[in-house]
Structure 1
Amino acid sequence: MNLTVTPTKQFKTTRIAIALIAPLDSRALTKRILLANVLEAASAHFPTQKAVAEKLSEMYGAGFGVTVERRGDAHIMNCVFDSVNERYLPDAGNLVSAAFTFLKQSLFEPLISDGAFDRESFERQKKNLGSYIRSVRDDKQLYAALSLQKNYFTDEAQSTPSFGTYEQLREITPTELYEYYLKCLANDQIEVVVAGNVDEQECLALASTLPVKPRRLYQGPLFYNQERQQAVYEGNEHQAVVQGKLDLAYKFPVYYRKEGYYAALIFNGIFGGLPLSKLFMNVRERASLAYYATSSYDSFRGFISVQTGIQFQNKEAVQTIITKQLADIKNGEISQREFQDTKKALQNSFLSRLDSPSNNLDQTLVDILTRKHVSAYEWQAKLNAVRFEDVIEVARKTELQTIYFLDGEVN
């Protein structure tokens, strides 16, 4: 177990996280999200969600949640507690100590019976997760994005949604999930992160009470590199929908904080990642062919996706305009105003994230994963150092691999 403490007076809250980091495994995707839900809902000390809520209320309305995310080839389960800093409360007692106790009880002392998770609590969370998985089909924008990834990624752990599948969920038992939980505690890299106006030595003493045995750091790969496909794959799906979804996936081998990363941020902003991007201005505003048109850059998996909502009959026209916008950037058809405005927008977005405790915590975990910290000053300097030519160079690394179209023509 490793402890990272960031003493700061910037916020009036204290945020504590215990992160479990493991290599991504397609067979464990559903187990991990179900485990997170079970641990969040109850523990041996607080056997119902009502009991959990009442305890948090006693701690001046503290918050608690367990989330799961996929970062490239790493799978992270994050148990997060946040509360008002005790220094701003009269007679609050030691809230930091109370927070560590609560996290210890929630993560290391679960609600179990006869070597398995409590069946009633387990079944409730299993039912809730199943309902969410089935509901994804009703969110057509999300459904299209997930379908694009399913068609693009050749690795099952990457192509499967981060919340898993209903088929996997159906087979999980309370005993099997408890055995997986014990495996996580025994093998996962465990990181404790504390941020707030706290005493570092006190946090070290409290963290040392957690029942964690020594283990190695995460040894798996962090970045996922998709093999280049020789031909573009096109997938069409027909559903009774009123708005079509045309999504595209591009191989883009530029990774987080690696060579070309800061130029890639600017490229994606110009292409479709910001409100005044080429996709927004040309597909939506000028041509009026899309309800939305955006791009997103996954720097841990080396790909860029484009998402659009369109009328079915406009598919070819929209795809032609998207192709032209990318070709224009590759050919250097970017104005200095676009270039500088995108830099400013990225700077402003970065600075605003510094005012968010949750974003600061996420960044600390990313620094732990990459084993490198970049200061705010260094980040801005690297972004400002990007030249016009650098953006063109990284843009030329994009290669269309997959097209997914959801239309309303039901046969």
Structure 2
Amino acid sequence: MDTIQEKKLQENGLKLHFIQSKKYKTINIVAKLRAPLERETITKRALLPYILKQATKNYPSRSELQLKLDDLYGAVLSADGSKKGENHIISIRLEVANEKFIPDESAIIDDALSLFSEVLFKPNIKENGFDEAIFNREKDTLKQKIHAVKDDKMSYANRRLIDEMCKDEPYQLHVHGYEEDLNNLTNEALYAYYKSILKQDELDLYVLGDFDEDSIKQKLTSEMHREQQQDNQNQVISKANKKSEEPKEVIEKQNVQQAKLHIGYRTNTLFKDDDYFALQVFNGIFGGFPSSKLFINVREKNSLAYYASSRLESHKGLLFVFSGIAPEDFEKARDIIRLQVIAMKDGDFTETELSETKELIINQLKETMDHPQGLIEMLYQQVVGNKTMPPEQLIDGIRNVTKEQVVQIAEKIEEDTVYLLTSEGGSNDE
């Protein structure tokens, strides 16, 4: 595997991350704006990326901005918001052709950096707000996204599980924000908030590809100016919250054919902890792959689920189990899922399962690193998790996990909340 070299610099209040790679024919530029998850700001932060990618000062409409991207040999601009642990992250990405592969072209990267800087720092402003038509249109789009979660029952069930499990914790906050806050949000208030994040958010800027570092640094620092940040003033210190004393069981009824049984666990382990590697291997054997215990025992052997899998939230120390079941199979499916956790605690898995799962995880990590955006996300995990861990070290860490370590990590995992979304007839009726 190629060694990944990440060079970190601080200039003009910018945290720059340069990753040299001759693997790609494109240059990827990504800005990550990070702030604590808070109810007062989450809806504004959900809306902002969609507005910023619509227009800039020099390209004041979506069509003019798209024409400029087309001029840059079909450059791709995207933006969104997400949560990692108790942080909210706004991501703005631009992928552009590397001029080294285009005869007689020498200004593409300069042009792309200017455009990227404009998307971030010079949006289309009218008086004290964004362009009114863009503001209203993107508000409507975000409202549709909020409604879409309610219609997608798997997403809805997962959100409701987190609502119940993380009550009174910032992680409970919905990543798309809240419709009532959106309805009350004015253009002026959003613009004022946007100006504040440019000063206060932690801003990490990634450039990945085959490029001249000195010229890129010069271009970035001349285009982008931020007031010098005090280090870590906006940093969230991740901590694994303890579960409530007794596991909660929440049953909700709607007009659904297939019930959704989602269970949340506290892993009591975070990305920065030494036993994080063992947790990843635990998840792989337990529910991360089609060869896992959940898939085989809940779905295949007992035909109790249409799907059954698990996923980690590594910055918050959570493990989620997702399954789609027939409403009348609730207790049986729940009990078989619980038996798989007990089996993991008892070390009821073979050395072959252990080594095959480790290879699956390593292949997954390598696949992620083969994609420019995947590699940047992996490197940014370290920033959020406050732990420097080169990708090679992550792979070695997985490779060295022992059966005993997986059993030890299983012992730390505690069931917190069982959430069932079932048919109106009840959990025991069709």
Alignment TM-score, normalising by the size of structure 1: 0.97
SS in 2 for 1:110: coil
For 2:126, the equivalent position in structure 1 comes to 113
Bigger CA drift: 57-66 or 152-161? 152-161
Matched-pair identity in %: 31
- Secondary structure at the counterpart of residue 126 of structure 2: coil
Q: Which moved more, 1:353-362 or 1:377-386?
A: 377-386
The farther-off stretch of 151-160 and 53-62 is 151-160
Shift in Å, 1:271:
0.7
Superimposed CA distance per residue, residues 84-121 of structure 1 (whole angstroms, 9 cap, x where no aligned partner): 11111122332211111001211111112221112111
In the TM superposition, what whole-angstrom CA distance separates every residue of 1:215-259 from its partner, at most 9, and x where no partner exists?
123332242422320122111111111100011011111110412
Greater CA deviation, 176-185 or 202-211? 202-211
For residue 3 of structure 2, what is the aligned residue in structure 1?
A: none
**Aligned partner (choices 165, 170, 174) of residue 183 of structure 2:** 170
Change (3 A) 1:369 1:249: closer
Deviates more, 1:268-277 or 1:376-385: 376-385
Structure 2 match to 1:65: 78
Contact 2:38 2:173 in 1 (8 A): no
Distance in 1 between the 2:312 and 2:328 partners? 28
1:165-190: CA deviation from partner (whole Å, max 9, x where unpaired): 11111111100000100110111122
**Cross-structure match for 2:98:** 85
Task: Say which of 44, 50, 57 aligns to 1:31.
Answer: 44
1:103 to 116, 124, 128: 116
Any unmatched runs of 5+ in structure 2?
1-13
Residue 324 (structure 1) aligned with residue 339 (structure 2): yes
CA contact (8 A) 1:71 1:222 kept: no
1:8 correspondence with 2:21: yes
State yes or no: 1:380 paired with 2:410.
no
Q: How many residue pairs align between the two structures?
A: 411
Counterpart position of 1:231: 246
Whole-Å Cα distance in 2 between the matches of residues 330 and 227 of structure 1?
19
Name the CA distance, whole Å, in 1 between partners of 2:420 and 2:75.
44
CA separation of 1:372 and 1:404: change in aligned 2, threshold 3 A: closer
- TM-score normalized by the length of structure 2: 0.93
Distance 2:364 2:290 in 1: 12
Q: Distance in 1 between matches of 2:103 and 2:250?
A: 61
Root-mean-square deviation over aligned CA pairs: 1.4
User: Which of 200, 214, 218 matches 1:205?
Assistant: 218
Instruction: State the partner residue of 2:207.
Output: 194
Give the Cα–Cα distance (whole angstroms) in 2 for the partners of residues 387 and 143 of structure 1: 37
User: 1:141 offset after TM fit, Å?
Assistant: 0.6
Match of 1:247 in 2: 262
| 8 Å CA contact retained: 2:28, 2:207 | yes
Partner Cα separation in structure 1 for residue 325 and residue 378 of structure 2: 35
Selected match of 1:347 from 352, 362, 366 = 362
**CA shift for structure 1 position 410:** 5.2
Q: Any gaps of 5 or more consecutive residues in structure 1?
A: none
**8 Å contact kept, 2:286–2:294:** yes
In structure 1, C-alpha distance between the alignment counterparts of 2:108 and 2:327, rounded to whole Å: 56
Deviations 1:58-96 (A, max 9, x none): 000000111212111222211111111111112233221
Match of 2:324 in 1: 309
Query: Which stretch of structure 1 is more off in the superposition, 308-317 or 337-346?
Result: 337-346
Which residue, 209, 226, 232 being the options, matches 1:218?
A: 232
d(CA) in 1 for partners of 2:319, 2:205: 32
- Compute the displacement of 1:275 (Å): 1.3
Determine the C-alpha separation between the residues in 1 that align with 2:97 and 2:332: 53
- The residue aligned with 2:148 is 135
Deviation, 1:371, is 4.7
Is residue 280 of structure 1 aligned with residue 298 of structure 2?
no
Name the SS of the counterpart of 1:121 in structure 2: helix
Q: What is the rounded CA distance, in whole Å, between the counterparts of 2:79 and 2:332 in structure 1?
A: 44
User: Any conservation in 1 of the 2:47–2:142 contact (CA below 8 Å)?
Assistant: yes
For 1:97, what is the secondary structure of its paired residue?
helix
Give the whole-Å Cα distance in 1 for the aligned partners of 2:237 and 2:99: 37
Runs (4+) off by over 6 Å? none
Aligned counterpart in structure 2 of residue 75 of structure 1, from 71, 85, 88: 88
The 8 Å contact of residues 73 and 224 in structure 1, kept in 2 or not, is answered as: no
Contact 2:261 2:322 in 1 (8 A): yes
Q: Which amino acid aligns with 1:339?
A: L
The 3-state SS of whatever aligns with 2:30 is strand
Query: Relative to structure 1, is the Cα distance of residues 69 and 217 closer, same or farther in structure 2, using a 3 angstrom cutoff?
Result: farther
Residue 139 and residue 373 in structure 1: after superposition, are their counterparts in 2 closer, same or farther (change >3 A)? same
The CA distance in 2 between the partners of 1:35 and 1:179, in whole Å, is: 12
* 3-state SS in 2 of match to 1:208: helix
Tell me, in whole angstroms, the C-alpha distance in 2 between the residues paired with 1:151 and 1:340. Answer: 36
SS in structure 2 of the partner of residue 51 of structure 1:
helix
Letter in 2 for 1:343: K
Task: Tell me which of 348, 353, 371 is aligned to 1:338.
Answer: 353
Partner of 1:297: 312
Q: Which moved more, 1:375-384 or 1:99-108?
A: 375-384
